[in-house]
Chain A
Amino acid sequence: MTGRVITITSGKGGVGKTTATANISAALADMGHKVVCMDADIGLRNLDVVLGLENRIVYDLVDVVEGRCKVRQAMIRDKRLEELYLIPAAQTRDKNAVAPKDMVRICDELRQDFDYIVIDSPAGIERGFKNAIAPADEVVIITNPEVSAVRDADRIIGLVEAEQKGPAKLVVNRINTEMVERGDMLAVADVLELLAVELIGIVPDDSAVLVSTNKGAPIALEPKSKTGQAFRDIARRLTGEEVPFSASNGNEGFLGRLSKLIGTKEGRNA
């Protein structure tokens, strides 16, 4: 088995990287894939709480890097999904405790046993980001329809290309359809036109996401949730499936333009 390494990053903090990592990982595992997600944000561990696994941590990523335990011992199995594991970040160390070559080595080991290794990158463009993208086969950039997030996403896209990890794929998170229709929020098509990258997901602005993180239960596992569906669609696209961007994710006008921009046939029918 040779698993794929997918790194989730953004540049700007607070745009939803950790939530996206948890939900994409859960959705992939729910589809029957063997998945391990890894928190690469050393010193600011968070993927564990979003997944509701914070009470089970014994070893962390730095313990693996420094040889205090085997990779297997640092993996925590998810409560709900048999095939989902988490490797938590260290909380008491800093990002320099891990080097890009450590990440490559650990991921090469994990590739033997897993279909997907999903890495939650820290914000910023320094060591933590470099660690997170070093082993990546694919980089997914999360942004919000907001000037600072789009600007940082553009910078990250450039850096990912420079590291020869591109082309990166884009998730536009927290789209508020009402505000887009009113002309007070950048539409997905606007963001795509500015960043000139491939779109892999549109996630609505949904207060239910906060409720799910309060509970430590990924929204991707709630069958009726539209936001959960958005994350499940991203997971399917990552596996190579062609999934149309549904009309429920935005308004008609923007979808028409979107289909022109991304040049896919599915948009035209929406």
Chain B
Amino acid sequence: MPSLSDLLGRNRSASTAKDRLRVVLIHDRSALPPGVMDALRQELIEVVARHIDVDQHAVRVEMVQEGRSATLQAEIPIKASPKPHSTE
């Protein structure tokens, strides 16, 4: 939902506060420090990359809030040209 300041085409401190709080609350609720997300992201990439050729720079791993609960969402784009399977 857009905030009032978004609707007015402004970007004032309230929307910064809201964006920051959104992230902080998700981490507080899941008792997951922000640093752990980076580690999780890296490990996910490693695991998936063992099997599929992924675009490592486009990977997005984030917590998404819904009501008072959160979902871990990972978006891992696969590279356009598929890696040919080795026959050896």
Residues of A within 8 A of B (CB): 146-147, 150-151, 154-155, 157-158, 161, 180-187, 189-190, 193-197, 251, 253-254, 257, 260-261
User: Closest approach, in angstroms, between the C-beta of A108 and any C-beta of chain B?
Assistant: 31
Set of chain B residues within 8 Å of A157, measured between Cβ atoms = 68
Set of chain A residues within 8 Å of B22, measured between Cβ atoms = 194
**5 sample A-B contacts, Cβ–Cβ < 8 Å, listed by A number:** A146-B17, A147-B24, A183-B10, A186-B21, A253-B4
Q: Which residues in window 1-56 of B have CB below 8 A to A?
A: 1, 3-5, 7-8, 10-15, 17-18, 20-22, 24-25, 28-29
Contact B68 A194 (CB under 8 A): no
Q: How far is A183 from B28 in the complex, measured between Cα atoms in Å?
A: 26
Q: How far is A197 from B25 in the complex, measured between Cα atoms in Å?
A: 14
Contact A183 B5 (CB under 8 A): yes
User: Closest approach, in angstroms, between the C-beta of B27 and any C-beta of chain A?
Assistant: 10
Q: How far is A181 from B29 in the complex, measured between Cα atoms in Å?
A: 30
Contact A151 B14 (CB under 8 A): no
Q: How far is A140 from B28 in the complex, measured between Cα atoms in Å?
A: 21
Contact A184 B12 (CB under 8 A): yes
Set of chain B residues within 8 Å of A181, measured between Cβ atoms = 4
Set of chain B residues within 8 Å of A154, measured between Cβ atoms = 25, 28-29
Contact A183 B12 (CB under 8 A): yes
Please tell me which one of the listed residues A180, A186, A257 contacts residue B1 in the complex, with CB atoms under 8 A apart.
A257
Set of chain A residues within 8 Å of B10, measured between Cβ atoms = 183
Set of chain A residues within 8 Å of B82, measured between Cβ atoms = none
State the majority secondary structure of interface residues on B. Answer: helix
Other 9 A-B pairs with CB < 8 A, given A161-B68, A193-B1: A150-B25, A154-B28, A157-B68, A158-B29, A181-B4, A183-B8, A183-B15, A187-B3, A190-B14
Q: How far is A163 from B12 in the complex, measured between Cα atoms in Å?
A: 38
Q: How far is A268 from B1 in the complex, measured between Cα atoms in Å?
A: 17
Contact B4 A194 (CB under 8 A): no
Set of chain B residues within 8 Å of A260, measured between Cβ atoms = 1
Contact A254 B4 (CB under 8 A): yes
Q: Which residues in window 66-80 of B have CB below 8 A to A?
A: 67-68
Set of chain A residues within 8 Å of B17, measured between Cβ atoms = 146-147, 186
Q: How far is A180 from B65 in the complex, measured between Cα atoms in Å?
A: 24
Set of chain B residues within 8 Å of A253, measured between Cβ atoms = 4, 7
Residue of B nearest to A157 (CB): B68
Set of chain A residues within 8 Å of B15, measured between Cβ atoms = 183
Contact A194 B18 (CB under 8 A): yes
Contact A184 B67 (CB under 8 A): no
Residue of A nearest to B9 (CB): A183
Residue of A nearest to B15 (CB): A183
Contact B18 A183 (CB under 8 A): no
Please tell me which one of the listed residues A186, A193, A196 contacts residue B14 in the complex, with CB atoms under 8 A apart.
A186
Q: How far is A155 from B29 in the complex, measured between Cα atoms in Å?
A: 8
Contact B21 A147 (CB under 8 A): yes
Residue of A nearest to B3 (CB): A190
Residue of A nearest to B11 (CB): A183
